Amino acid sequence: MPFLGHPLRLLLATLKGLALAHVGLTYGFSVGAGWGPSMLPTFMTTQEWFVTDRRCRRGRGVRVGDCVAYGIPVETGEEGVKRVIGLPGDYVLLNSPGLAGEYEDEEEGGGGTAAGGMIQVPRGHCYIVGDNLPWSRDSRDFGPLPLGLIKGKVVAKVSFDSWNPLYWFSKVENGLRHPEAALARPG
């Protein structure tokens, strides 16, 4: 054993290993637990873990429809998972059509936005929402998210519901479809 005779070598090897692990988890892939109803039915509310590609920090390689892990702007140190529906320059609907009535009166008082209004996502920002709109706190509440708060793209989920390990992992697909693809019919 080469390390047994030299405690300094053991210490240096340990520090190198810790540094490598830190770089791998910060800039590679990481796994973390998730909870909450905001992304139903894509993700369960409990007992599910996410595999995050940290190479996609700050919005690199993120497309509309991808699920991202992000730093919640209204809670220091907390991370959330939401779906990107607008990137810089895209136009997005501020309120979903089913929820538009809730905001109509706010415009008259000068404090809200027009029901069904649209905005253009500013440069350096994205617009994120949860899949379960009534239970999601997202860009509809705190506005467009700075790309600097994106921590990575969620590429897989891990659920231990099955006894068979082959069913523990599943890829997280882009949840949005192009409208022309929906119109195209086989045959």
Which residues are tagged catalytic?
A: 38, 82
Residue burial 77-110, b: 16+ Cβ < 10 Å; e: rest: eebbbbbbbbbeeeebbbbeeeeeeebeeeeeee
Residue 45 dihedral angles phi and psi, to the nearest 5°: -80, -25
Tell whether the torsion through CA atoms of 73, 144, 63 and 96 is positive or negative: positive
DSSP 9-53: HHHHHHHHHHHHHHHHHHHTEEEEEE--STTTTTS-SSSEEEEEE
Q: CA 77, CA 93: separation in Å to the nearest integer?
A: 29
Q: CA 141, CA 154: separation in Å to the nearest integer?
A: 22
How many Cα atoms within 13 Å fall on the side-chain side of residue 82? Answer: 26
